[in-house]
Amino acid sequence: MQIYNTLTKKKEEFVPLNPGVVTMYVCGPTVYDFFHIGNARSFVMADIIRRYLEYIGYNVRYAMNLTDIDDKIINKANEEKIDSNEVAKKFTQAFYEDIKKLGIREANIHPKATEHMDEIVGLIDSLVQKGNAYNINGNVFYRVESFAGYGKLSGKKIDELESGSRVEVNTEKENPFDFSLWKKAKENEPSWDSPWGKGRPGWHTECSAMSMKHFGETIDIHAGGNDLIFPHHENEIAQSEAVTGKQFARYWMHFGFLNMKEEKMSKSLGNFFTAREILENYSAETIRLFFSQTHYSGPLAFSEDLLKTSQSALIKVENFVDLIKENSATSGGDSETTFDFESYFRLFSDAMDNDFNTPQATAVIFDFIKAANKAINETEQVGKNFYSKVLEFLNKTAQNVLGIIDLEKVKMQKSLENDLVKLLLDVRQKARAEKNFALSDEIRDKLTELGIELKDSKEGTTFKIK
RNA sequence: GGCGGCAUGGCCAAGCGGUCUAAGGCGAAGGUCUGCAAAACCUUUAUUCGUCAGUUCGAAUCUGACUGCCGCCUCCA
């Protein structure tokens, strides 16, 4: 299993610190708004990575943090004239709802900054003790120069940063790139006690503190969006490793952006759709297939047309599942079908083992469907065992790892509707027998208008409610 | 200015030195089925991989230059 590691800029063989167990920490959202479909991409891809690691037998300990105290939350609270707590609570709730709708599996833990103040303060205190941080009037800054490895993740050098910097120079700091660990409370701001007075944690501290608290000083995988490489993840490394002297995370993974017309989708640019909005019109499976068809590390252009493309592709998979389920219900016995299921499992693993190559993996699913269709068409007697193996393959790969299909959900229809449609089909069949095509077509057209699609075949007419 | 990424068919997108006259999806065209349809299924759809050099027996894949995009350096998945 190979993973591209941002730290070494290479694909590396993945070997967890402790055999059989993988600790994985993913940077989650700041809960000041609904998350957008670009955020959703990271969350979904992280979910697929987690699921695949479980698929190959690892016990994955998975955390995604929620930043629930931050400038943005405070600003939002001021705008809406409510308590910042309320803001965080509301969007935390929304976050849980949305990731559930996206089919994202529950994390083992969603650590929150406000629930880890002791650890955060403790971490900052250690940094101050060790000389990696300094307190100026209740603001504590990290002394960037004190950490030799600063820049090792992002490839940036402190002296080179200066040239293009547009950071407002804070004269209090020793170095303009020193970053805030603890922010002194302003009036009417939520605050916590600390050795430096009332305040709240700065941007990056929570992730270090929480990751170490829950998973120990060194974790296996730390992941997040591309834009977190610098400064967020760089700073996490500086904070954590300065304190522990140990490697903070062994594999750093970063997700490419979702772009709107060549431009990064982001809240600050205002060019975004919330995941919620998209979920109103598209299923989680469609969205997940859409994401899976591009490698997680590259950019992905978002448009509704592209999403529709994935929707069409998914219909193909669902039709196939329909067919398999129908056939499976009516067939019996074993068949002699020679079909190499193992090779498809292997191809799927090969793809995923190569730095989670989901586009390749989805291609394997489509190849599998084509080959299985062919086998069915070319075989006289297809037995039940074949169909159940097909379903097993899809269950293990497309459903459990990629989450692009829900085998249970396909073909769930209400019985009353079914009975009524069947009644109409009987009438139509009589009309057809009498060659009264005007009437039979009228029935068909009206049903089509209602979203009920008819399919005539030798065995009779079947239908599908769209 | 510094650092990083990308450029493959009408569109999206794999590919990591030979099996590439390049996977898969969408779209399109033809076929099977049908009273006609629709749906489904089957088949076809890049001798070519931004441009120009180079390395190599061999390059979409490595190197260099060039062109064009994008991101980070500032809160951001």
Same domain as A106, residue A185: yes
Look at residue A375 and tell me if it is in a domain. Answer: yes
User: What's the rounded mean pLDDT across residues A71-90?
Assistant: 93
| Protein residue closest to B69, using CA and C1' | A262
The spacing between the Cα labelled CA in A171 and the C1' in B46, in angstroms, equals 59
Q: How confident is the model at residue A327 (pLDDT cuts 50, 70, 90)?
A: confident
Range(s) of the domain holding residue A347? 315-402
| Protein residue closest to B42, using CA and C1' | A374
Q: Which nucleotide is nearest to A42 (CA to C1')?
A: B77
The spacing between the Cα labelled CA in A299 and the C1' in B70, in angstroms, equals 8
Q: How confident is the model at residue A461 (pLDDT cuts 50, 70, 90)?
A: confident
Q: Which nucleotide is nearest to A163 (CA to C1')?
A: B1
Task: Name the residue among A447, A463, A445 with its Cα closest to residue A455.
Answer: A463
Same domain as A381, residue A239: no
Number of compact structural domains in chain A: 3
> Mean pLDDT of all residues in chain A?
90
Chain segment A353-399, per-residue pLDDT in tens: 999 999 999 999 999 999 999 999 888 788 889 999 999 999 999 99
- What is the predicted pLDDT for the residue at A134? 94
The spacing between the Cα labelled CA in A145 and the C1' in B22, in angstroms, equals 49
∠ at Cα A356 (A354, A362), nearest 5°? 105
Chain segment A332-341, per-residue pLDDT in tens: 777 767 899 9
Q: How confident is the model at residue A168 (pLDDT cuts 50, 70, 90)?
A: low
Q: For chain A, give the percent of residues with pLDDT over 90.
A: 71
Alpha-carbon span A216 to A177, nearest angstrom:
28
C-beta separation of A319 from A455 below 8 A:
no
Q: Which nucleotide is nearest to A455 (CA to C1')?
A: B39
**Residue A375 belongs to domain with CATH number:** 1.20.120.640
Other beta carbons within 10 Å of A241: 22
With a CB cutoff of 8 Å and minimum separation 6, the contacts of A410 are: A318, A321, A322, A325
Same domain as A378, residue A356: yes
Look at residue A302 and tell me if it is in a domain. Answer: no
Same domain as A432, residue A322: no
Same domain as A61, residue A129: yes
Chain segment A37-54, per-residue pLDDT in tens: 999 999 999 999 999 999
Same domain as A450, residue A367: no
Alpha-carbon span A91 to A76, nearest angstrom:
11
Pairing of strands A300-301, A258-260: parallel
Same domain as A329, residue A196: no
Q: Which nucleotide is nearest to A39 (CA to C1')?
A: B77
Same domain as A181, residue A57: yes
Flag whether the ipTM exceeds 0.90: yes
Q: Is A390 helix (H, G, I), strand (E, B) or coil?
A: helix
Same domain as A419, residue A398: no
